[in-house]
Homo-oligomer: A and B are copies of this chain.
């Protein structure tokens, strides 16, 4: 029999500085800043301090998770870090977390490179690994995109925040039981979101940093995300109304508004966190789940929807189980 897998708990760590989207920080007229805030819904973002790297935020979030669960890293056999902004190309962020926090020697450790669909991708991977070979796993979602933003590229600068989450998965309740998980990709959209001159490929015609085709990604998301949600509902014999919480990747308020409007999802069903955090890449969904964890009641359903760079997207469906 295939064992059930539960997301037991989440903890987070935010970049140490808050950057408001105002005239002072953006060097734009205050009127334009207010327009940007109104359109994106992002009032401010948490940004990593100068000496604060993805591995630091990852260690902080994981320490908090272990403290919260009153457990030790030494009992965990799988450690995955989903990031696109590692400290170094070699080794992965997961190696540093493993050493710093005392994970055991018999432990599967690697970084996943995925962006805004990284929580769903990570959930699918962790679920498969737990079913196959171990009892508990930590999935970290951590990025410091601020280090790859071109300072004058307002379109991306106003959106992204730096944060990490650490999520404990195991074969034991309580928590969010994984019911369903599907991931999708369309590599033809590879160029829609690229960090140029960021690794081994150097292009002297471009300055280093993130290039985003905003309208292209919006069109893509409005097309594929509702389809993936309907497919998930159908596969599980459910309707929109039966989902207690839709945890959309927090791309920005405008995009989430368009998606919920198209899907007839109420604002109560689809809360947001990007007003003060910005788009925190693959950490945005677990940050949202953390915000609303205490409100969940036994057997309520939660759907997580990731989408973005790659292009890639995916849906996880969970059932909250309060019983031990």
Q: Which residues on A are within 8 Å of B, measured CB to CB?
A: 53-54, 79, 84-92, 94-100, 103, 105-115, 118, 121, 124-125, 127-129, 131-133, 144, 147-148, 181-190, 193-196, 198-201, 210, 309-312
Knowing A128-B133, A133-B124 touch, does A184 contact B106 (C-beta < 8 A)? Answer: yes
Is there an interface contact between A124 and B112, defined as CB atoms closer than 8 Å?
no
Residue of B nearest to A182 (CB): B106
Cβ contacts under 8 Å, A85 to chain B: 89, 199-200
Do the beta carbons of A90 and B100 come within 8 Å of each other?
Answer: no
Report whether A109 and B187 are in contact in the complex, using a CB–CB cutoff of 8 Å: yes
Chain B residues in 8 Å Cβ range of A186: 98-99, 105
State the Cβ distance, A147 to closest chain B Cβ, in Å: 4
Q: A99-B190, A125-B128 are in contact. List 20 more A-B contacts (CB 8 A).
A: A53-B201, A84-B91, A90-B210, A91-B113, A91-B190, A91-B310, A92-B113, A94-B187, A95-B185, A95-B311, A96-B190, A98-B310, A103-B187, A108-B124, A109-B185, A110-B114, A110-B125, A112-B112, A124-B133, A133-B181
Q: How far is the CA of A129 from the CA of B91 in the complex (A)?
A: 24
Residues of B with C-beta under 8 A to A200: 53-54, 85-87, 144, 147-148
- By a CB distance below 8 angstroms, the chain B residues around A125 are 108, 110, 125, 128-129
